[in-house]
Structure 1
Amino acid sequence: METFQSLQVKFNEMFHKVFEGGRAELILMEDEETNEPGVDIVAQPPGKRLKNIAMLSGGERALTAMALIFASFLIRPTPFCVLDEIDAPLDEENTLRFTRVLRELAARTQFIVITHCKQTMEMADALYGVTMEEPGVSSMISVRLTRLLAPTY
């Protein structure tokens, strides 16, 4: 229960940081039929009403899920994290929010982000890509961006 309470606090803090306001809660649930426990998520982005995560827009759901993932890293850091197209449902403004928080967390954890989003690529230290110039033959390219550009944040 102590870890859940810590996660609850960090989740709300991270949600507030990602959304630049608002609040979010984790609610312990118990299925009355099976007596199995679960967790429900309610969130209130700035200027909106408190809603179950299922009632949020796709971008809001994605940012809320990111806030929960990032909150868990604050409690129990790991050396690295792989995020596969986590930014796909985000618009430009929300992608900027995501990359700002990701850059901050990258001081403690190495992030490997699979993305097609140019904004997310721009904040990377290195890019790796796979191309297929002829059918069945893949080749890998890599670029270290820290050598090319000075950070602009």
Structure 2
Amino acid sequence: MKRVLVTGMSGVGKTTLLDELALRGYPTVDTDYGDYYEVLNGERLWRHDRIEALLRSTPSHGKQVLFVQGTTRNQGEFYSWFDHIVLLTAPTAVLVERLTTRTKNPYGKDPAELAETLQYVGTVEPLLRKSATLEVVTTVPVSTVADIVLAHVS
């Protein structure tokens, strides 16, 4: 089974893509929920034990693909476990619109959170881009994003 990390800034559509992939029958894990992360000194980081257990339990062979979503400072420690790293991006104006109007997740509505996300576009996103095997700009319908991602990982 292939393992694919879907990463990017808040508001790029990671969860929306996972929802689409799940509808198409692919297994997905959103590490923003459950006990996949811990907060250390105010920062959310992936828990080594939980992420390793997830990735170890996924066979490395087979035709199926597991999609894992998340963005944390320590995610690079797990890159060797993934066959592909997909970076989702969007123009800042699109991010602002999505974050301030979304209804399923409150993150980004607070002006400080929005400012933090926009700062990360300039500081964190370039680092993610260096490790990505694919970058998709999510200004197209999610079905198109899913088609692009699936074509890449097939």
Structure-1-length-normalised TM-score? 0.29
Higher relative contact order (CA 8 A, sep 6+): 2
Structure-2-length-normalised TM-score? 0.29
User: Which one has a bigger Cα radius of gyration?
Assistant: 1
- Please state which structure has a larger fraction of its residues in strand: 1
- Please state which structure has a larger fraction of its residues in helix: 2
